[in-house]
Amino acid sequence: MEPLSEKEVEIIAWLEFNKRYFFTVSEIDRFAKSRKQRYNIVYTLLKKRRIVKLNRRRYFLVPIRAKGGAWSEHPFIIVDEMMDSKDYFIGGWAAAHHWRLTEQVPAQTDVYTTRRQGKAIVLSTRIVFHRTTRERLGHGVVEQVQNHAVRILSKEDSNKWLKLHR
């Protein structure tokens, strides 16, 4: 793992002290004198694997206490932060496992959204995005996962999905 500069340690320490593990670039403006310097700070932290890009605006801070730079976060929280807490719900095997309808540990997290599709690997978590309609988004319910509100397919709909996919 590459060593960090004084400025990078200051930024990481400030983010950790304020418990801002999910943050935007505008939150570190106070440490940069210009947009170019801010861009360079973000670029070097990405290169050194101290932060992970979640979407255009949001990043995840890998804490200093992470040994060797390896860290994991609950996949549902990662998805919620990637989607800015709107227009999505988590379904498939991940939702069935959450509701304890199956003991099978999901290999991926299926996310149903109106905004994107495809696959992404974030912090060793495989996330598969499926396109859906606005009406179907109503099937999601808000649940607390590690003191974080996330949208998950309701238990009844997860049970129906599970019966179709067994």
Instruction: Identify the CATH number of the domain in which residue 40 sits.
Output: 1.10.10
Name the pTM for this structure: 0.81
- Domain shared by 50 and 26, yes or no: yes
* DSSP secondary structure string for all residues of 108-127: SEEEEESS--EEEEETTEEE
Report how many domains make up the chain. Answer: 2
- Domain shared by 28 and 83, yes or no: no
Residue 72: DSSP 8-state: -
Residue 97: pLDDT above 80? yes
Q: Find tokens 């499926």 and name the residue.
A: 130
- Domain shared by 57 and 79, yes or no: no
End-of-domain residue from the set 66, 84, 101: 66
Range of the domain at 27: 6-66
Helix and strand numbers, DSSP H then E, in the chain? 5, 9
Q: Is residue 1 part of a domain?
A: no
pLDDT of residue 62: 85
Residue 98: pLDDT above 70? yes
Q: Rounded to an integer, what distance in angstroms lies between the CA atom of residue 74 and that of residue 133?
A: 26
Residue 20: DSSP 8-state: -
